[in-house]
Every structure is written in C-alpha cells, then in structure tokens.
Structure 1
Amino acid sequence: MLLAAVFFGLFFSVCIAALVWPRPRARRRGPRRVGRPRVSILVAARNEEATIERCLRSLAAQHYPASRLEILIADDGSTDNTAAVVRAFIAGKPQFRLLAVPGGAGAIRGKTNALAHLCRVATADYFLFTDADMALAPDWVSAMLAAATPGVGVVTGITTAGGGLFGRLQGLDWLFGLNLIGLLADHGLPATALGNNMLLTRAAYHDVGGYEGMAFSTHEDLQIFRRIVARGWGFRNLCSPAVLGVSAPQPTVAALLQQRKRWMKGTTDLPWYCSGLFGLYAAFYTVLFWPGLLPLAPLALLYGGKVFLQTLFLHAALRRVGRRERLGVLLLYEPYLCLMSVLVLAYVLWPGPVEWKQRRYTWAEA
C-alpha cells in the first residue's frame, strides 16, 4: 500500500505540474532576419496518390513568396499514381519539382534514402520537411523560419490528425504526446523532432554528416535530431496555430497498429526523462488495477482524477493550436487510450516485421 501511495503521489504531481508548469516566453536570440530567405521544402512520397494533392495545395497556399520557395517532391518508387497526381498539380508552378529517387548511398535505404537525395538536390540554406499526408498552416514557412534564430539547428512544429471520430482521437494522441515533449523542450530538455513538421538548417545538417552519415533507422527524425543537438546546436519545439500540421489519419486499426509499432521502436532511443515520463503514465493502469491492491472507492477516485486532469491537459493542448473539441470526444479519449495501449503492446510483442511505407523491416533493422 505504501508503494502504491508513493506511485500515485508521483503520478499526480507530474500531471499537475504538466498543467501548471509555466512555459517560458520565447526569447529571440540574435538579430532579426532581414528579408525572405530562400527555403527548400522537401517531401518524400511513396504510394501517396490519395493524400499528396492535399499536401501540395497547402504548400502552394503558403503566405510566402513563391519565388523564394523550392518545393522538391521525391517519388520513392511508388507503384500507384502518385507521380501522375504530382505532375498534374505542379504543371505551371515553377517552384515545384518532382524527382525520382536513385539507389541508396551507404547503409541508408527506404524513406531515409529519399530524404538524403532531396537534401543533396536542395539549394537553400533552410530545409523544411513534411510528409505527403500532411496539410500545413498557411504561415508554416514563416513561423518555422522565425524560430530558426542564429545557433538553432532544428525546429519542430506541432501535428494533429483530422477526419472522423477515429481520426480525431488519433489527433488527440498526437497533441498529448507532442505537448509533453514541447513542455520538456521549453525547459531545455531535448527529446525528439518530428520528421513530418521539421526545419533543419543546411549548416546543422552538414555538420552531422546528413542522413548518409547515420546508421539506417525507421525513425530518422529522432536520429538526426539527437546528432544535431549533441553537436551543440540549439533546438525549438513550437506549439501554435501557425506551425500546425494536420495529418491524414490512419484509416484502420491495423494500419494504426503498424504505425505505433514503428513508434515503439523509436521510444527505445528517447532520453531517460522522456521514456520515464511516458512509462509512468503507462504504468498507471497496471498499478491501479493490480488485483487486491486498492478498495473500490479509492480506485474509482484515482481513476476519475486521472481522467479529469487528462481532459484538462487535452483542452489546453487544443487551445494552444487554435482548435476545439467536444467534451464527449475528450472523455472518449480515455477508453480509446486504454484499448489502443493494450493492442499496441500485444502487437509489438507478437513476432512480426515493422512495416513502413509499404516496406518491411525486422525489429533490429528498424
């Protein structure tokens, strides 16, 4: 009982701290940037015919001079009509280019190879990365650039998901995790970047040898973030409507489990404080429902307290990015989280490959 009291005391202290811990005001380091620098926007696409036009429309609608944008799309061996969709959309838009991806350089392959090829072709001093299933806010380029002050090598935006109820619950998952990571970053604790909403400076990218200088991984964004930060470059994790990206949701539970299995592999490389934070949250159910540990009344009180604080945190996360959600959906996130946690754990433990962009990798390769 004493151990349970210590655990729940720590758990709720962390939850309350996440709600009330003040975020420091962003301080501009170095002089203001004069003019509009050229920017390379890089999109790796594989079998994205259903979503990529949505992404391209959002990039074409950026509140940034088209003449200062270089938007490079890599067709990474698509077997569907991705290339045809892109060609039709970019006709008459000189800021866009479609590229075919050559074979891998060194150990890299798959999407990482496509990204490396895009970086070799890009000509600007700022690389902005997004995925083909993303739609970005109109001020995305400007807001990300504003955070790339002198000494900052990597900037990460915020992501959610759209669609129906299943997609919106996935979106809450994105916002929950990324707001915790952003809170750590605001207090100087680096965790990770997000490859679907990320800026790297050319200087920082080449300082760490680029993607070619890394061992192959299916979480290349975490890898390059860690290398850049280790070299002494600054980092920013932003959370505002201007840097919001809306991902297309995973269409089925099976597809969502495939995505989360890859993410779970990535969590093995997170810093201890980040893994500990998510591990503490995951352990809540195990301790709470341990047979015979707690009487029914305190069990219900603790569970209700967790749902209450979680709902407040999600509400605050939504407000930060200028979105709203009905209370019923916020409350429905709890059973969604419980069910998906069990399914993901079972799926990860079940022997099988990690699937990423219609390619299969062993757990060790991923």
Structure 2
Amino acid sequence: MPANSWPENDSYNELDPLNSLFCDLSTSEEELEEETPHSMTLPSRFQGRRRKAALVLTMVWSGTIALHLVSWGTLFVLGLTTILGFHALVLVFARPKRYPEQVQGDLPSVSVLVAAKNEEAVIGRLVKSLCSLEYPDEQYEVWVIDDNSTDRTPQLLAELAQEYENLKVLRRKPDAGGGKSGALNQVLPLTKGEILAVFDADAQVPPDLLLRVIPLFQRENVGAVQVRKAIANAKENFWTKGQAAEMAFDTFMQHRRTVIGGIGELRGNGQFVRRQALLRCDGWNEETITDDLDLTFRLHLDNWDIECVFNPAVEEEGVTNAIALWHQRNRWAEGGYQRYLDYWDLILKNRMGTRKTWDLFLFTLIMYILPTAAVPDLVMAIARHRPPILSPVSGLTVTMSMAGMFSGLRRIRQKQEFQLSTYLLLLLQTLRGNLYMLHWMVVMSSTTARMSIRPKRLKWVKTVHQGKE
C-alpha cells in the first residue's frame, strides 16, 4: 500500500498479523499496465498470477481428461456428487440466524464512504439520502471521494456540501492511483467512525439502514456485514430481471453459508466494515480489481466473521445489455479467481479454520473448477461418444441453483400473502433466472483460460450509471 495512505502509528505493525501479505516488494512486468513506469513495485504475493493460473488450468484439464481414461473415474465423480449433495442438504436445513434489532448502550460512530467518478446522474440523489439517514447527526458522517471527475460531479458536491453539514468531500489529484481501493485508503485517515459503510454512487438506501445494520456488530468477532443487493431497474428487460434473481440467490447462499460456520462475502455496495478489522487487514488492496472480494479473504484469514443479511437491502442499477453484463461479470470473475491465486498458501494452512476452509473448497469447486473442467469434459465426451463424465455434478449444481434461487426470491416476499399465483410467479422467475445464470459458465471458463495466457493488466472499468429508479 502507498505509504501516504495511512496515518503514522507506532503500534500499527503489532495490530496487523496479516501485514506480511504486503511485504517483500519487487517488480514484475507481467503484472503491470503497459503504461505503468517500471520503477513501481508490487507486493510479491500478487506476482506470478499468470503462472499460477496456468498451473491450475493444466491440472484441471489433465485431471478431467484422466477421469475419462481411468476405470474408477465415474465412481470418483459419483462420490464427489454425494459430498456436494450432503453439503447442499446441510445448507437447506440450516436454521436461519436471529440478529439483534437494537444496540445495547451507546450507538457507535459511523463513517459512510462513497468513491465517485463522473457520477453527475446519481450523486445528488445518493448524497441527499445518505445525509438524511435515521441516526444521530453527531454519530455519523458522510464522505464522498471525488476521484478527479471531469463532469459536473465536483460542482454538484460543492453545492450539496453547503446544504448538508455532515457531508465532507475529498477531491483526488489526477495522478492518484489505486482505483476505488486507492480512494478509500486515501480518505480512511480522515474518518472517525468505528464502523465504515461503503456504497456505490448509484446506491439507493432506506432511511433506517444504519439503525438496522449496526446492531449486528455487537458480536465482537463480526468484522463486516453485507446487506442484500437489489436491482432498482429490475423490471426493465431480461438482463435486469435475471440480475434481480441472481442477487436473491446470492444472498440466500451467503446467509446459509454463514449459518453453518462457512464464509460470508462482501459485495462492494452496501458493505459495513469494523475499523479495527480493516486496519488489521492493512486496508483495501490496491492491487486487485475487486476490492470487496479481496477484503473478504483477508478478513477471514484474520479470523473475523462476515454476516450477510436479507433486510435491509441496498438498491443499485443493473446493467441493461449483454455487452455491459459481459464486461462486468468478467471483472467479477477475474477478481474472484485472482484472490485464490494470491492467498492459496494461507488457505491451505487452514488460517480460516476448518469449517470455513471446507466451505471455501466446495464453493471453489462449484464456481471455478467445474466451469473450467466443462470444456475438456465436453471434448472428451464427443471424442469417446459418451455422456460428459461430470454430468452428475453439473445436474446437482443446477438443482442447487434452482432451489436456492426460489428460496431467495420467496424470502424477499416473506411479508406477502402466498397464493398459487404467487408460487407460479416465483417459479417463472426462478426458471428465467437460471437460464440467465448460464452465462456464468462461459464467463468462468473463459476467464480462467484467459488469465493463464494473457499478462495481467490492472484496470478499473467503470460501470456507467443513468440514475434509474
């Protein structure tokens, strides 16, 4: 991390057991942008991602081909399917958590952070809602980091700062780097909140958001909380309807994973992080394209828990066409896969604990390994004139997706009276959502292959927001 991103603190290293993750700096040309000066350095942990990805790809492809050639290949796949099926049953029948609804004692201070770049279409609406939250004014502040915007965002923020006393604006210089992570790291020393709430510029939040989320931090080992993301323009077309179902499914699975002692994950928009936990993890990582997913791993490696809740929810704009979806999901997939390449040794050392490590292994198998293995499996199936050997696992994965998505959509509507027509509507949404989710197979398999061949180039691709309700 840049030295000027942090306040001076003599005891900082003592509070940071993961500080070794970011030491031993050395240059690696394959990891840098073409226009990045060669004098810049990267932490050694984040080097060699292409070589690691190539090794994993080789292992997955050769292992899948071997399953077609050995006599016990089918038995191995059936055994794996049984293990995943048992894990799925544990998730389904896990009893949901009950969370405290009020803070016992004084409310902690909260700093609300928004990193914005060229967000004139949405920044005004967001600032007004964040500055009007139901929380004691002296106990929370709103920081907007203007990342050198070239549209009317600076002028709008200047006008809003005159209207709202608890709004503070930090303007970044043109040469400031690190993307969203860099912006958040730069403002961190200026904030005072015990809890840091991070939102995207297109977020739409309910007035009682803080009062409903902050009580979850009363459990001392909770390092972060992620609220459900909802799609504000869900009714627009097939793509936005699919994203709405996807978010419901994601929250359901994350919530159930935390119930059984597994891993909860941050999703960027609507994430709350305990300051103590963030400092011990050395802040936001500026060498990744998905700061939320990277921070998820580092929090768990430092033995913090992350809670994921259905309500309240934060709304955001869904992308409205296939091209925008492709770019966005490729970034998510690459960032998600990247963290395994960065922290694989710490994961294998069981730094997260047995339950979390086991949960992570099964999640990795479903999300990354199976889509990658699908390509050689299909090739071998065609060559040998037989069904794909991974069909049982793939069938179980689709079944889990259907059940999880239906349950997630139903959970969102839990206050409504359920009739036959409601169940039919949920079933239709589930079928459409799973059809939409097929794009992940293509995204995951192509991403793992691309990362094995092309040099990594750190890019933060902006998603354009239109201000849609």
Instruction: Pick the TM interval, shorter chain.
Output: 0.7 to 0.9
Distance 2:367 2:191 in 1: 36
Query: What does the per-residue CA deviation read over 1:162-183, in whole Å, with 9 as the maximum and x for residues that have no partner?
Result: 3123212112223323332332
CA contact (8 A) 2:94 2:259 kept: no
Question: Among 202, 206, 227, which residue is 2:275 paired with?
Answer: 202
TM alignment of 1:1-366, pairs within 5 A = 2=75, 5-6=78-79, 8-26=81-99, 32-102=103-173, 109-149=178-218, 150-163=220-233, 164-165=236-237, 166-211=239-284, 214=285, 216-232=287-303, 234-242=304-312, 244-268=313-337, 269-270=339-340, 271-279=360-368, 282=371, 290-291=381-382, 292-294=385-387, 310-322=401-413, 326-342=426-442, 345-346=445-446, 349=449, 355-358=459-462
Change (3 A) 1:353 1:231: closer
- Is the radius of gyration larger for structure 1 or structure 2? 2
- C-alpha distance in 2 between matches for 1:263 and 1:134: 18
Taking a change above 3 Å as real, the CA distance of residues 121 and 341 of structure 1, as seen in their structure-2 partners, is same
Q: Aligned residue for 1:363?
A: none
Deviates more, 1:165-174 or 1:302-311: 302-311
SS of match in other structure, 1:47: coil
> Which moves more between the two structures, 258-267 or 53-62?
53-62
Cα distance in 1 for partners of 2:446, 2:366 equals 21
Deviation string 1:128-165 (CA, Å, 9 cap, x unpaired) is: 11111221233221222111123432222221323123
The residue matched to 2:95 in structure 1 has which SS? coil
CA contact (8 A) 2:255 2:309 kept: yes
**Structure 2 Cα separation of the partners of residues 220 and 306 of structure 1:** 27
SS in 2 for 1:83: helix
CA distance in 1 between counterparts of 2:371 and 2:131 reads 41
**2: distance between equivalents of 1:357 and 1:302?**
34
| Alpha-carbon distance between aligned partners in 1 of 2:288 and 2:120, rounded to the nearest angstrom | 25
Q: Give the 3 Å change call, closer, same or farther, for CA 311–229 of structure 1 in structure 2.
A: closer
- TM-score (ref. length: structure 2): 0.63
Question: Does 72-81 or 185-194 show the bigger shift?
Answer: 185-194
After TM superposition, the structure 1 stretch with the greater mean CA deviation from structure 2, 279-288 or 94-103, is: 279-288
| Runs of 5+ unmatched residues, structure 2 | 1-73, 341-359, 415-421, 464-469
Separation (CA, whole Å) in 1 of partners of 2:78 and 2:223? 43
Higher relative contact order (CA 8 A, sep 6+): 2
Contact 2:371/2:444 (8 A) holds in 1: no
Partners in 1 of 2:276 and 2:447 — Cα distance? 40
Q: Helix, strand or coil for the counterpart of 1:37?
A: coil
Deviation at 1:78, TM superposition (A): 1.7
Let me know the Cα RMSD of the aligned residues.
3.6
Aligned equivalents of 2:178, 2:294: Cα separation in 1: 15
Letter in 2 for 1:136: V
CA distance in 2, matches of 1:226, 1:197: 18
What secondary structure sits across from 1:71 in the alignment? strand
CA offsets 1:282-319 (integer angstroms, 9 cap, x no match): 48977799555459xxx8x9999876653442232134
User: Within 2, Cα distance between the matches of 1:7 and 1:238?
Assistant: 28
Deviations 1:33-86 (CA, angstroms, capped at 9, x unpaired): 313332110000112222333433432442223343200001112222222333
Rounded Cα–Cα distance in structure 2 between residues aligned with 1:344 and 1:208? 28
Partner of 2:272, secondary structure, is strand
- In 2 relative to 1, CA 288–63 (structure 1 residues): closer, same or farther, beyond 3 Å? farther
2:241 match: secondary structure = helix
What CA distance in whole angstroms lies between the structure 1 residues aligned with 2:107 and 2:132? 16
Provide the rounded CA distance (Å) in 2 between the counterparts of 1:61 and 1:238: 24
Structure 1 position 226, deviation (Å): 2.9
Structure 1, unmatched stretches of 5+, are 360-366
* Residue aligning to 1:364: none
User: Under a length normalisation based on structure 1, what TM-score does the superposition of the two structures give?
Assistant: 0.79
Alpha-carbon distance, 1:357 to partner: 3.9
Identify if the C-alpha distance between structure 1 residues 228 and 342 changes in structure 2 by more than 3 Å, giving closer, same or farther: closer
Is the CA contact (8 Å cut-off) linking 2:112 and 2:196 kept in structure 1?
yes
Q: Number of matched residues?
A: 347
> For 2:438, what is the secondary structure of its paired residue?
helix
Change (3 A) 1:264 1:183: same
Is the contact made by 1:16 and 1:309 (CA closer than 8 Å) also made in structure 2? no
Asked if the contact 1:154–1:200 (Cα under 8 Å) also holds between the matched residues in 2, the reply is yes
Q: How far apart in 2 are the matches of 1:186 and 1:87?
A: 44
Q: CA deviation at 1:123?
A: 1.7
Q: 1:59 to 1:188 in 2, by over 3 A?
A: same
Distance (Å, rounded) in 2 between the aligned partners of 1:240 and 1:7? 31
CA distance in 2 between partners of 1:175 and 1:354 (Å): 30
